[in-house]
Amino acid sequence: MAEDSDVRGASLGDRLAVEAAARIGEGFAAYADEFASITKRSKWRFQTSDWKGRHEDALERLDLYEKVLREVATAITGLLGDRSRDEALWASVKERFTRSIRGHHDAELAETFFNSVTRRIFSTVGINRRIEFFRWYPRDAGAAAGEPVFHRYEGGRDTRQLIRDVLKDNKFTVPYEDPERDADLVGGEIDLYLWPLLAQTGEYRIEVIRSPFYRNKVAYLVGRIIAAGRVIPLVLPLYHGDAGVFVDTVLLAEVEVSKVFSFAFSYFHVLVERHDLLIEFLRSILPEKPLAELYISIGYNRHGKTEFYRDLHRFVHRSRERFIIAPGKEGAVMTVFTLPDYSYVFKVIKDRPCFLRSAAMTDKTSTRREVMDQYALVCRRDRVGRLVDTQEFENLRFRRERFDQQLLAELRQAAREVVSIDDDHVVIRHLYVQRRVTPLPMFMAEERDPEALRRTILDFGYFLKDLAATGIFPSDLFNTWNYGVTRRGRVVLFDYDDVIPIEQASFSRKPRTYDESEELAPEEDRIVATANDFFIDEMRSYSGLPQRLKGVFEIVHGDLFTVEFWRSVKEQVSAGELVDITPYDRAMKFRRA
């Protein structure tokens, strides 16, 4: 009788494992299909200049993963009932799921989805390899089944004709404004760039991804040139103007293409069947770009987190570095830490705003929920290359020995609600991860090249204008410790607890005094203002820039100190106007007249 019961139990367990694996597979397939369906709309949005619809698609796709994950986790919990947290059963589910995705090109993404389901149900701390997929390195892309993800154009003939062919293969329902002109402009630049490489041989080829990369108001044709044993990036930004589609410029340098794929921009919409081969292609033209950032750039941000976690594990095991407090000024809201030679920082929200490394006081009263809402706000805005991408992690576990004592002391004191420390491990229940940048004040203090300083100071002004145009206003506008400089010299915002929608801000001039009694009265007695009231005429005094650098800044960006500028931008944003910020040097734009 007991044996029969065991058999029946095992049989039931097998059936549950098969059904659970199938449902997770169906959920992933539904996610992949809907992801592709939303992405497919991008071409129509571009052709019809439906920029509002394009933004709505971006938000819908951003929410898709969590929506499907929630549905699948709920269904699996209902299916398994009181065995929903049975590890032995889940080990069997994992085995069945592994069989079902074997040989699939999207197996990596499917494994990430499976892990998301188990972590949602188990609230896993650290990694549970029995019920999660984990490997040190990603799978190889393997041989392509069917057509490659790119078109190939053999050289040895007129480069201009090759570009004509590229444009013909990327047609829209609206015509090109002047394809002959664009082919001449692009072809001429390519010929000039290749001249030193092709002195001995004229052989080369061009390969271009079959689908444009859509973002904001631009469709980017992304490709590469294979010449003299080198791989050269090739990017053509296409705009839809009043007279049709036109090529704005050609990008051939890795540094410029890297800016287009920057971690501070929103995600691309690009429709390909083999994402793994697309990533392989992108790695060939952006070899210094982390794999995680490439996945995130094309919208697979959850799998990007998987690749980041792999990279972190490899780094921690290769090096003996300890986590330390990140260089820079202490923030009232976050404890920020890093590894000395690592490219990312980790941000933990303090239990309540405070300073621990100085006697400074803060008037901030933000709760954890309010800070998280601010970060969510930024995530859903168009980041236009000015807002550092932020990935959210839960229930991470590290060895305590890898933490500097000063950092441990600060985490104990400031973040007890989300950080647990025992004799062996540090468990962090919630943190943000961002790419590491140099805080703007540190850059200005350390940089010795006057031209580099000039470029950064001027870019700081363009940064504030770009940010405003997207509808984001940092209420602590000229606290320059909230801003950083990327390794490509671009100014970005990385601290989001002070941002508000610009529509909520009120811009005016500070009220004047009219008699001696008003002049002697404390400002708080004669001026009525809310937290969202900003006196623009005071900004010049509190710009955060060193006095000797203000002159260069104000020559170009003096309008930032006027009420008219801020009110005008607020009106544009309130009216729903969508801007497109050029990720490359404006001087590179073709003269089309």
Q: Are 141 and 60 in contact (CB under 8 A)?
A: no
Separation between Cα atoms, residue 332 and residue 355, nearest integer Å: 5
Token duo for residue 250 = 């050609």
Separation between Cα atoms, residue 500 and residue 579, nearest integer Å: 18
> What is the H or E stretch that residue 491 is in?
strand 491-493
By CB atoms closer than 10 A (0-12, 13-18, 19+), residue 78 is: exposed
Known active-site residue 389: yes
User: Which regions of 344-406 does DSSP assign to beta strands (E)?
Assistant: 344-349, 390-393, 396-399
Residue 551, CB-side half-sphere exposure with 13 Å CA sphere: 1
Token duo for residue 236 = 């053509």
Residue in 57, 389, 466, 497 annotated catalytic: 389
List phi, psi (to 5°) of 544.
80, -5
Separation between Cα atoms, residue 274 and residue 404, nearest integer Å: 43
Separation between Cα atoms, residue 69 and residue 407, nearest integer Å: 35
List phi, psi (to 5°) of 509.
-95, 150
User: Which regions of 276-401 does DSSP assign to beta strands (E)?
Assistant: 324-325, 334-338, 344-349, 390-393, 396-399
Angle of helix 159-168 versus helix 179-194 axis, rounded to 10: 130
DSSP string, 474-502: ESSTT-GGGEEE-TTS-EEE---TTEEEG
Residue 295, CB-side half-sphere exposure with 13 Å CA sphere: 19
Q: Which residues contact 284 (CB under 8 A, 6 or more apart)?
A: 224, 231
Separation between Cα atoms, residue 100 and residue 94, nearest integer Å: 10
List phi, psi (to 5°) of 238.
-105, 135
Separation between Cα atoms, residue 207 and residue 187, nearest integer Å: 15
Separation between Cα atoms, residue 151 and residue 191, nearest integer Å: 20
Separation between Cα atoms, residue 177 and residue 264, nearest integer Å: 31
Token duo for residue 525 = 């007695």
Query: Which residue from 512, 518, 508 is spatially nearest to 539, judged by alpha carbons?
Result: 508
CA dihedral (474, 480, 483, 488) in degrees, to 10, reads 140
CA dihedral (488, 501, 301, 233) in degrees, to 10, reads -30
Distances (CA, A) of 126 to 80, 397, 461: 24, 5, 42
Token duo for residue 61 = 């796709």
Separation between Cα atoms, residue 49 and residue 371, nearest integer Å: 35
Active site residues per annotation? 389
